[in-house]
Amino acid sequence: MESAIGLLLSGSAGYQFFTREMYNSDLDTYCVFEACVVVGQWYLSAQYMFRPRTHQLPSFSADFERMKEAQDGIGDEDTDYNDASIVQVWDFENSTLERIQLIAARHSALEVILSFHSTCVMNFISHRAAYSLFPRTTFKHKAMLVVDNGRETPGSNEGVQKYVERGLKVIHSPSVTRILDTTSDLVAVSPRFVNDSRTWCVPIEFCGSTDPQPDFVEANSFKMEYHHETNKIIWMAITGPGC
């Protein structure tokens, strides 16, 4: 299913994959809004129960339809996120209190990941591979560049603090050397691509009954921009499976 709809795992799960450390955290999953109904039903079939937030309807199907009507302009859109890349977030929980978050992306799952609070969480897993977009900064230098993409996301400061407590230092402005170095993952003088030479990519064995679909997420590119103490990631969302 992941290969057909472009479901991505990110958040702490992506970070843990590369560090081999374990944290008590939710499993964050991302896909385009239209595909969320399939993913949500899949979680329900795996004995996860939908846990509505205060503004959500009691059943997942009903709340998905509410949000679909909002996207069609005939209903109200009520979410916890002031983030243009996110439509809605749904929580699922099993009998052992393990929780999965299903994050609905407006255009692209990768667009949501590139909107995160800092570079240290820009790691994700697709049906073909695990990717880290800023591996040298994150895992070699044990640091994270705080990113401001022009939006305030609730919990972003708490998110930064969480990784400070995990041993990472905060970079507010990278050095000129790193900005100009074309081998640096923080380079600003040349564009970045998913799975370029600065990315860590760990292939994952595909266990499906048919040949896996291409990893369309690798069609995406982005660019770092630095203005005084403001760090931005510039991209144009490419829609499609795994993007």
Residues 65-119 have pLDDT tens digits of 999 998 876 556 666 666 788 999 999 999 988 999 999 999 889 999 999 999 9
pLDDT value, residue 74: 58
Return the domain boundaries, the chain: 2-234
pLDDT at 154: 47
Q: What is the dihedral angle through the alpha carbons of 235, 144, 189, 115, rounded to the nearest 10 degrees?
A: 10
Residue 201 neighbours by CB under 8 Å, 6+ apart: 129, 130, 131, 195
Q: If you ran DSSP here, which 8-state letter would residue 128 be given?
A: S
Strands (E), 98-229: 99-105, 123-125, 129-132, 143-145, 169-171, 192-193, 200-203, 221-227
pLDDT in tens, 105-164: 998 899 999 999 999 999 999 988 999 999 999 999 999 999 986 545 545 688 899 999
Q: Are 233 and 149 in contact (CB under 8 A)?
A: yes
pTM, entire model: 0.89
User: Does 179 score more than 90 pLDDT?
Assistant: yes
Average pLDDT, rounded, for the chain: 88
Percent of the chain with pLDDT over 90: 65
- Structure confidence at residue 70 (pLDDT): 87
Q: What is the DSSP letter of 230?
A: E
Question: Can you give the pLDDT at residue 6?
Answer: 85
